[in-house]
Homo-oligomer: A and B are copies of this chain.
Amino acid sequence: MKFEVTILGSSSATPIFNRNPTSQTLNINERLYLIDCAEGTQQQMLKFDVKASRIDHIFISHLHGDHYLGLVGLLSSMHLNGRKKSLKIYCPPQLKEIVDLQLKCSETALQYDVEYKFTNPDVAEVILENQDITVETIPLDHGIACTGFLFREKKRLRKLLKEKIEAANIPVEYYSALKKGADYVAPDGTVYKNDTLTFDSDVPKCYVYCSDTQYNEKYFKQISNADLLYHEATFLNNMLDRANETHHTTALQAGEIALKTNAKNLLIGHFSARYKTLNELLDEARSVFPATELAIEGRVFGVE
């Protein structure tokens, strides 16, 4: 099953040339999920060929502008481009007020339904469950109400060993039961154990999105064992005081968090505009957690 993240923006607070503020899309089994939606996100989607029409769920972590100011523009473009299917937005409650006011002022009545699910910054909750995944909020520590998001694949059905199935002449109508783990009893009474006819599907994968937050162990248990951990790394560690003051994390801390929570891979982003190049941030995170990559715009990372 496809499970990958496309970076649309990785800058913090202010854009700089070639770095847009935060946004990314997850493609999980060919469904697209948008996480945060900074100003310019719809332009980035055009640039990187991400189809807005394929997005049915939008997750907004918090109400600092660099994480949501592109939302109203995106909603308007969806409307103008003829969207009819409903859209679900997971966000702090005040975002609905902001969207409604702006739609009212532009005299726009969207041609599709928007359903809101409000996040609670104090409690980890499952906010979405469908056939592919569950999504949980992660209470972060950013001064302002802020949640990360944890995308966890569901355990998939077992897969059929075609040659064995054919050799045993098993009728098609039994396949569904076999995928769920049942044995097969042939008309002559022969019992075929399920594990001789099927094999386990891939181990479910987990993507964790932590932006924005300062270092705080309160969320470590929840995010442990991520296959891919995206964590903000706004500053180098020589600016730790500034990081604490602004409720952000350093690249060194991001590496430590990946290590302590037993992540398989780490992706750092939300870089301060002061860093014109990102190598120092990468080196710092890798000094404690080698399997680190930079969230660079347009790059696609598999959750593996």
| Inter-subunit contact B15/A105 (CB<8 Å) | no
| Known A39-B40, A65-B72, A65-B73; contact A14-B97, beta-carbon cutoff 8 A | no
Bound complex: CA of A66 vs CA of B70, how far in Å? 11
| Inter-subunit contact A43/B15 (CB<8 Å) | yes
Write the chain B residue with the least CB distance to A65.
B76
Q: How far is the CB of A39 from chain B (nearest CB, A)?
A: 4
Q: Kindly state whether residue A77 has any CB partner on chain B within 8 Å.
A: yes
Bound complex: CA of A19 vs CA of B108, how far in Å? 23
| Inter-subunit contact B17/A102 (CB<8 Å) | no
Bound complex: CA of A63 vs CA of B106, how far in Å? 5
Q: Kindly state whether residue A69 has any CB partner on chain B within 8 Å.
A: yes
| Known A69-B69, A73-B65, A77-B14; contact A106-B144, beta-carbon cutoff 8 A | yes
Q: Kindly state whether residue A94 has any CB partner on chain B within 8 Å.
A: yes
Write the chain B residue with the least CB distance to A20.
B43
Please name all residues of chain B whose beta carbon is closer than 8 Å to the beta carbon of A97 when the two chains form the complex. Answer: 101, 105
Please name all residues of chain B whose beta carbon is closer than 8 Å to the beta carbon of A106 when the two chains form the complex. Answer: 63-65, 144
| Inter-subunit contact A43/B46 (CB<8 Å) | no
Write the chain B residue with the least CB distance to A17.
B46
The 4 A-B residue pairs with the shortest CB-CB distance, nearest first, are A39-B73, A14-B77, A63-B105, A94-B105
Q: How far is the CB of A242 from chain B (nearest CB, A)?
A: 13
Q: Kindly state whether residue A98 has any CB partner on chain B within 8 Å.
A: yes
Write the chain B residue with the least CB distance to A46.
B17
| Known A46-B16, A77-B14; contact A98-B107, beta-carbon cutoff 8 A | no
Q: How far is the CB of A20 from chain B (nearest CB, A)?
A: 7
Bound complex: CA of A107 vs CA of B144, how far in Å? 8
Bound complex: CA of A17 vs CA of B47, how far in Å? 6
Q: Kindly state whether residue A279 has any CB partner on chain B within 8 Å.
A: no
> A31-42 toward B: CB 8 Å interface, digit per residue (1/0)?
000000001101
| Known A63-B106, A69-B69, A144-B107; contact A15-B46, beta-carbon cutoff 8 A | yes
Q: Kindly state whether residue A13 has any CB partner on chain B within 8 Å.
A: yes
